[in-house]
Amino acid sequence: MRVLILGGTGSMTHRVTELALAQGHDVLVVARGRRPLAGGRDVAMIRADRAELRSQAPALEAFAPEAVVDSICFEPARAEDLVALFPSARRVVFVSTVDVYGEDVGGMPVTEERAPNPVTPYAKGKAACERIVLEGLGSRATIVRPSHMLGRTYLTASLWGRSPYLVDRLRKGKAIPAIDGGRNLMTPVYALDVAHWIVAALGSAKADGQVFNAVGAETVTQRDYYACVARVLGLELELVAVPSHVFRRHVEAPSQFNWHRPYSCAKAVAVLGHKPVGTLRSMIEETVRHMLEHGLVKDCAEHPIDDRLVEAALRHEGELGDVLAPAAGKKA
């Protein structure tokens, strides 16, 4: 199958490129830069910005893709490109995000039946693009919604989102600030598992017009997540609780990693026939190893707000303890 991958050297889509090549597909990549593929494999490539896609129409028509994967579409105008440029493609896979479901989705795993309720500008853009692709391409479209991805080329997450500082804080024995002590739920996913679902959708009629959550098999707490990073480093974890209501009030665009975000991959497993192979431990091991080997870990002294936040939170805990201790004594 002739497969066009837009952004095919990105953090997740280089996995799609590698997997499609390994399965014998004829692959063409459109990207601004090049990330080396596993085993030194080469791939045909058009160097171009995603916004320049229409200017590449002659080359795209010459390739005549039977399937298209787009991981770098964030704006409605770019989604309209997908509808206009590939009238003969049997499958167009649009890579969206679970962020379209909303900021805090509660404690039950979210399925694809839940209506989107995007909050952030990023999620609203992705939701708008989904609608354009589904309405314009109908059964030829497939929507894939990954959760927090892990694996090589990614960073671990902290209170502020993807962070180059978390590993260094742990190595220096510093406490990690976490919303409500890390009680919130999350469902991280291995980037290679996302790639398997995308490639499976390319030739499957069962994926016609369908939406799939591309998430891991394990729902864990943020405390579990941070503790796993610490264990991989051979260290102990110390968390300091940051009240969620205070954080929401003072941080204009808080990271989506901080709220309840459990999701279900049951539909993707049943329809596309791939079960996630990534476990929390294996995903974080690969992520941390890649960060250390490629100089992606930065000195946490460059990001001193966590130290100030930990100090303030511990001081507040002490003050609350001073208030509660006499009351507890009276009850006794």
Q: What is the pLDDT of residues 259-317, one digit of tens each?
A: 889 999 999 999 999 999 999 999 999 999 999 999 999 999 999 999 999 999 999 99
| pLDDT the model gives residue 330 | 53
Q: CA angle 177-109-228, nearest 5°?
A: 35
Distance CA 278, CA 284 (A): 9
Instruction: Name the band, by pLDDT with cuts 50, 70 and 90, for residue 332.
Output: very low
Domain containing 160 equals 90-315
Token code pair at residue 136: 């314009």
Residue 180 lies in a domain: yes
Strand partners, 263: 110
| pLDDT the model gives residue 58 | 93
Residue 3 lies in a domain: no
Stretch 36-50: mean pLDDT, rounded?
Answer: 79
Residue 327 lies in a domain: no
| pLDDT the model gives residue 36 | 62
| pLDDT the model gives residue 9 | 82
Whats the size of the chain, residue-wise?
332
Residue 44 lies in a domain: no
Residue 45 lies in a domain: no
CATH code (residue 240): 3.40.50.720
Instruction: Name the band, by pLDDT with cuts 50, 70 and 90, for residue 326.
Output: confident
Residue 75 lies in a domain: no
Stretch 104-119: mean pLDDT, rounded?
Answer: 94
- Per the structure, the count of domains in the chain is 1
Residue 286 lies in a domain: yes
